Amino acid sequence: MTARHPELDQLLEGLVAERWSCRAYRGDQVPHDKMVRLLTLAQRAPSWCNTQPWEVIVTEGEGIERFRTALASHAKEQGSDLTPDIPMPQQYKGVHLERRRESGWQLYEAVGVARGDRGASARQAFKNFELFGAPHAAVITVDVDQGPYAVLDTGVYVAKPPLTKVCLFTLPNTGAAMTRPARTANS
């Protein structure tokens, strides 16, 4: 931390400590200029050789509803036959399993889903594909040719305080990545 500006240290610590995953949104549209300002700040995230490999597509107005409907419909059609861009973990063990379970139980408890209620937990999980009712979605893509460093860089971009401090967009969500159409030899 910087000894010259302790107030900046406190501000940064506050931003990091107050981060949370929003699971419900008001329907209010966020002013376009505010979104542009926050995305511009986040663009200063470091990346390998300053490649900034991410592309951001923000849905607004009718676009969010079309996207939400298409994503949810596609997820229903796929069912459990998920084809993620990046393979999901084979299993969680030890502390990673404990953290995942604790996080899940806290989430479900917060939204009134009783432990062991598989139907209610499935309905809650499906809200990922409905974008939790967010008034906007920022779809962040990376060209596959950019490789794993681009994915890591994009994680840093997504975690930048301007995007995580305010609950403007649906939280980082693998729903869209998990439901993409399967690639063919020609795609």
| pLDDT values of the chain reduced to their tens digit, one per residue, 187 residues | 446 778 888 877 877 777 666 667 777 888 888 888 888 888 888 999 999 999 988 888 899 999 999 989 988 988 877 777 778 888 999 999 999 999 889 989 988 999 999 999 999 989 888 988 888 888 888 888 998 899 899 888 887 755 554 555 544 565 555 555 544 334 4
Is there a contact between 155 and 9 (Cβ–Cβ < 8 Å)?
no
Q: How many CA atoms lie within 13 A of 106 on its CB side?
A: 9
Is there a contact between 64 and 137 (Cβ–Cβ < 8 Å)?
yes
What does the pLDDT read at residue 18?
Answer: 73
Q: Specify the pairing of strand 54-58 against strand 138-142.
A: antiparallel
What does the pLDDT read at residue 162?
Answer: 55
Residue 56 pairs with which residues in a beta bridge? 140
What does the pLDDT read at residue 99?
Answer: 95
What does the pLDDT read at residue 32?
Answer: 86
**Number of other CB atoms surrounding residue 127 within 10 Å:** 17
What does the pLDDT read at residue 180?
Answer: 56
Q: List all residues 6 or more positions away from 1 whose beta carbon is below 8 Å from its beta carbon.
A: 9, 12
**Domains, the chain, with CATH or none:** 25-178 (3.40.109.10)
